Copies of this chain bind each other. A is one copy, B any other.
């Protein structure tokens, strides 16, 4: 059994590599973005390719005997549309009835699995970024705020079940904003615009979320939106959300009086 990483852009692929090393695993890292130098410096076994050249990607992985792999990091769709797409990928896409992000990514997951490469969840080597249930930082939660968190969690799950979005903004029992395509940060800014300071933001995983290619994540940009609207609480889903730059994130949240709490169906 040999591990691979199919590495897009961002901070997470290198974090996965380090997570593997901590378990004594030496992965083959196939870089899709401009991050090969970074991985080489960190001492990884590195290849380079473009996801659009799916046949080459597969051959490189099999050459390096990869039979289980984490796919992680951003892969700009613009690359897939820039003409550098091989027959293998075109054939894959041609079979899809709907061509949204989820179906495209699932098709790629299935392609690798059909070729004998099992796709591991993105969470497997990143447990240190995923909070357990409970308050992570910040002032205590009042009973009214707890009710808002529970409402937000329930509503966000319902919205996720409809495959619309993952974030909601709530205050005093009222749903102020619901995320669709505008993204979490814009949803927070809008909720704050209508609700004023002290809103409660909740972001969850969809019930049908496929952790092999899509795990909810929050980072410093989202924290900045929370600070801008003077939000009171951020609730994320316990066991199911990456907190990027976790230490810095929690320290800055605390400095702004923002409570960060990891919730599950049972509560905080």
Q: Which residues of A contact B (CB under 8 A)?
A: 98, 100, 155, 158-159, 162-165, 168-169, 173-182, 190-191, 194-195
Contacts and interface: CB of A to CB of B under 8 A. Distances in A.
A175 B182 CA distance: 10
A105 B195 CA distance: 22
A59 B178 CA distance: 44
Given A178-B180, A190-B182, A194-B181, A164 B173 contact: no
B173 A181 contact: no
A17 B99 CA distance: 53
Given A100-B173, A173-B98, A174-B100, A182 B158 contact: no
B173 A162 contact: no
Contact of A162 (B100, B155, B169, B181): B155
10 contacts: A100-B174, A155-B162, A162-B175, A163-B175, A164-B178, A165-B175, A165-B178, A175-B181, A178-B178, A180-B194
Contacts of A180: 168-169, 175-178, 191, 194
Contacts of A173: 98, 100
A260 to B, nearest CB: 23
A194 B182 contact: yes
A5 B203 CA distance: 45
A51 B9 CA distance: 60
Contacts of A175: 162-165, 180-181
Contacts of A190: 182
Contact of A178 (B100, B159, B195): B159
Nearest to A193: B182
Interface centre among A158, A175, A177, A178 (most CB of B within 10 A): A178
Interface centre among A163, A164, A190 (most CB of B within 10 A): A164
